[in-house]
Amino acid sequence: MWALALLSSSNTIEASKESAKACTTAVDILNEHITLQDSFTAMLVGYNSTCLSDGLCVLDVDEDTLYELKNMNIEDKEAPIPAIKAVATAHFGKSFKMHPTFLAYDTACTDAGGILECVDGHMTLLGEAGAAFIKNERGVDTDVDMKIMSYPICLPKECDGEELDKVLENSAKEAILKAPAVAEEMTAQTEAMIKSVTADQLCALSGLDTCKLEVEAVGCQMSGSPALMNTSARFIVALALAGTAIFSLF
């Protein structure tokens, strides 16, 4: 009886792996659509250009952090990294759901055979980043609270019911890579690093006391859009988009 239970469990795990792989493969194929890629990039640009005036993004950086960052000598390899203390919010919903670039992304997603899903996320980073790897020295004092709401993701039907950690993580990486402020300074090495690093690795390597993220699928509630998948996932890199998008405005 135990043998049958173990066999059943093994078959379930293998089936789950296969369906997860099918989801990931379908996402890669979906993202090959040039129109979808272009509309996604245009949406990020549209958000950056309007979120402040529309009251959809807020960045409150500690005065000392802002001063140190602005006066930091990036050529000095020995210069200490200043404390990073900030509160940031990025909302892709509310009025932005009616922005032409958001609507164009929704349309491009549907035309490509995908389904638009939106997620909320809350990330908390607290402690001394890197302290665990620096002997006899302090790490970078970190106190960051970031929220991102109604962040849209185009998903294929193969991902319905799947754990979408990896899918959403990869989508967020693409968002970071396509952000204009990042793309201008991007090197091949930096791009390779962003594509290869995982959420769990970032947290493990950070050395922070608290590296916590809560994510929930909330649905885009787009009038006329196809039925939305109801999924929950955990991805930390997506919230880097919020920071990238907002910091690029200052």
Tens digits of residue pLDDT in 49-82: 999 999 999 989 888 888 887 777 766 666 777 8
pLDDT in tens, 94-136: 999 999 999 999 999 999 999 998 888 888 888 888 765 555 5
For the chain, domain boundaries: 2-247
pLDDT of residue 47: 93
Nearest-CA neighbor of 240 among 213, 207, 205?
Answer: 213
The per-residue pLDDT for 241 is 44
What per-residue confidence (pLDDT) applies to 90? 93
Whether this model's pTM surpasses 0.85: no
Lowest mean pLDDT among 158-167, 172-181, 239-248: 239-248
Candidate ranges 25-34, 68-77, 142-151, 212-221; pick with highest mean pLDDT: 142-151
Q: Which residues contact 237 (CB under 8 A, 6 or more apart)?
A: 169, 172, 173, 176, 197, 199, 202
If we measure between CA atoms, which residue out of 74, 44, 46, 75 comes closest to residue 244? 44
Examine the pLDDT at 32 and tell me if it is beyond 50: yes
Top-ranked range on mean pLDDT: pick from 107-116, 157-166, 167-176 = 107-116
Nearest to 216 by CA among 201, 229, 197: 229
What does the chain come to in residues? 250
Q: Can you read off the two tokens belonging to residue 27?
A: 């996402």
As a whole number, mean pLDDT of residues 192-215 equals 78
